[in-house]
Amino acid sequence: MNCLAIETDDGIVVVDCGVTFPHDNYGVDLVHPDFTYLWERREQVKAILVTHGHEDHIGAIPFLLRMMPVPVFAPAYARMLIEHRLSEHEDIVDPDLRTIVPRRAFSIGDIRIEPLRVTHSIPDANAFCIDTPGARIFHTGDFKLEEDPPDGQPSDEERFAELGEDGVDVLLSDSTNVDVEVRTNSERSVGSALRELVRKLEGRVVIGLFASNVHRLQSIVDAALFCDRQICLLGRSVQTHVRAAQTLNKLRIPSDALIAPEEAMRLDPERVLAIATGTQAEPVSALSRLARNDHPYFKLQRGDAVIFSSRTIPGSERQVSALICDLERAGIDVHFRSTDSDVHVSGHASRAEQKRMIDLIKPRSFIPIHGTYHHLKRHADLARSMGIENTVLLENGDVAKWYPYGKLAMDGGVPHGRVFIDDGVSIAPSILEERRQMGDSGTVYAQITLDKNGLLSTPFAVSTRGVLLDEPAHSIEALARDAVAEQLRQAKGPREMLMPEEARDAAARALRRVYRLGSRRPLVVVQVKSPGGPIIG
Ligand SMILES: [Zn+2]
Ligand SMILES: [Zn+2]
């Protein structure tokens, strides 16, 4: 979840505002950055600048706009996706969205921004040259330096070099692929690999991909046409991106080449190619539904093929491997990076390209961005090995300050963290903790009745859900009753009486002790009835 604040005396500009997706979700749909720092300075926040339309760069925009209605400057393709996303949030009316164009500079307060074209796995990706009164910052966004991308519009290396000659104070550069030594294959090579593969296949072919990769979509469309196959689109995000890309003239599909899934089932299998979402094995996505054979219209059968034109995001490996096995078990021929290394390339710069970026920009100081600590550290080492001594490694919440005498240094931190979203609403960390506890260890529930002294008036029943017990339930229950009675007596001591809240807490303590097993700590819920008082829990 990318979110960077650039702050001058005049105000704050936010670069990118993304989300991430949880792995063990406990009902969490997505996670966005904690905006406390920006909220406390909302009068100073001037705008959000967007490098490109990937979710890890735009997904949190609705949540920030809800807190502060600032203008959003985004390239056309990202803008279209942001509009689409904002239309799902009824509480955001009339958002101020502005389209930016490479090499067309604009100003926000005392900051001047020049967007510059970069190649990436989505159309309209940009780097930014950001001129502040104190320093010139070059932010690469997510990029790669591909000489001959399918749209014929490579990264604007000419302008990067000019700016480098002119002098750049701080370079912030994409670290994702610092472990990939040499330039990766070109997107065009993926196109020809897919075409060759599809040509050899006989049954229906389904190709899974990240739908925002419009170049890849075009390659797949071309492969289908070349092999005389009709195309059908499976999954909402494929349809969203196809529509957006067609609207902006970034994707060409002859209108008679597209067919509905039900129509596809009436054609000879070798005349059909489907483009599908779900390469990360998301349970409700098209590929998972095909594997479970519960897609309403489209069915696969023995001899059909599925190609994963994608990588597996760290954390999804287990689910993706299970999906591949499910498909293979059903007699489907599966192709992915391990079987066919040329069906996917990354959208990020390899080490060789990262080096070239540093060479072109020749910055006075360097901040690696976009990656794990390992990636950032290795990228910082790379910059240092190229003579950029002044490198600063920032983690979430860290602040770097540019000093007028020409040096960049760490300068403390700001509040940061994760905000968990369930169905559009943020969940308090305490609720999430309760869900986690219930999910991991189960729940113990007891209702106790107190006498006028605050001690147990009658024996009580305990019920559990999902709790692992090492003895029969009834004997543990007897233990629990004794433990609660004893704990209440101790808590009361020589006093006249025990307050209901104190009794509740003491009983919960006793139950937690009794029902704890190994590392399992069930959630304990105690309700207290006291004479004349309300029930508390
Ligand atoms: Zn990206
Ligand atoms: Zn990214």
Give the tens place of pLDDT for each residue, 298-308: 999 999 999 99
CA of 213 relative to ligand 1 center, distance in Å = 10
Q: Which ligand is nearest to the CA of 56?
A: 2
Structure pTM?
0.90
Give the tens place of pLDDT for each residue, 395-404: 999 999 999 8
Q: Collect residues with CB below 5 Å from ion ligand 2.
A: 54, 56, 142
Question: What value does the mean pLDDT take over residues 141-159?
Answer: 94
Which amino acid would we find at residue 356? R
CA of 121 relative to ligand 1 center, distance in Å = 7
Q: pLDDT at residue 53 above 80?
A: yes
From the list 479, 462, 463, 481, the residue with the least C-alpha distance to 471 is: 479
- Among 57, 215, 241, 348, the one annotated catalytic: 348
Grade residue 213 by pLDDT with cuts at 50, 70 and 90.
Answer: very high
pLDDT for the residue numbered 157 = 97
For residue 324, give the H/E element and its range. Answer: helix 317-329
Give the tens place of pLDDT for each residue, 55-64: 999 999 999 9
pLDDT for the residue numbered 497 = 87
pLDDT for the residue numbered 182 = 86
Q: pLDDT at residue 535 above 90?
A: no
Q: Which ligand is nearest to the CA of 53?
A: 1
CA of 268 relative to ligand 1 center, distance in Å = 38
Q: Which ligand is nearest to the CA of 174?
A: 2
Give the tens place of pLDDT for each residue, 245-269: 999 999 999 999 999 999 999 999 9
pLDDT for the residue numbered 534 = 80
pLDDT for the residue numbered 26 = 86
174 in catalytic set: yes
Residue 512 gets which letter from DSSP? H
Residue 456 gets which letter from DSSP? B
CA of 25 relative to ligand 2 center, distance in Å = 21
CA of 370 relative to ligand 2 center, distance in Å = 7
Q: Which ligand is nearest to the CA of 16?
A: 2
Contacts for 287-295: CB closer than 8 Å, 24+ residues apart:
287/206, 287/208, 287/323, 288/323, 290/206, 290/234, 290/327, 291/323, 291/326, 291/327, 291/330, 292/326, 293/330, 295/234, 295/261
Which residue matches tokens 């991308």? 149
Question: What value does the mean pLDDT take over residues 279-295?
Answer: 93
Grade residue 284 by pLDDT with cuts at 50, 70 and 90.
Answer: confident
215 in catalytic set: no
Question: What value does the mean pLDDT take over residues 155-181?
Answer: 97
Question: What value does the mean pLDDT take over residues 66-72?
Answer: 96
CA of 352 relative to ligand 2 center, distance in Å = 19
Selected residue with higher pLDDT from 257 and 470: 257
CA of 441 relative to ligand 2 center, distance in Å = 36
Q: What is the mean pLDDT of the chain?
A: 94
Q: Collect residues with CB below 5 Å from ion ligand 1.
A: 54, 142
pLDDT for the residue numbered 114 = 98
What domains can be seen in the chain, in order of their start residue? Answer: 4-182+346-422 (3.60.15.10), 187-343 (3.40.50.10710), 428-529 (3.10.20.580)
CA of 160 relative to ligand 1 center, distance in Å = 20
pLDDT for the residue numbered 532 = 79
Q: pLDDT at residue 23 above 80?
A: no
Q: Which ligand is nearest to the CA of 1?
A: 2
Q: Find the largest Cα–Cα distance for the chain.
A: 89
Q: pLDDT at residue 531 above 90?
A: no
- Percent of the chain topping pLDDT 70: 100
Residue 257: CB atoms within 10 Å: 15
Q: pLDDT at residue 25 above 80?
A: no
- Among 174, 295, 335, 379, the one annotated catalytic: 174
Which amino acid would we find at residue 21? F
Burial of 390 (0-12, 13-18, 19+ CB in 10 A): middle
From the list 22, 24, 28, 26, the residue with the least C-alpha distance to 421 is: 28
From the list 291, 295, 299, 294, the residue with the least C-alpha distance to 267 is: 299
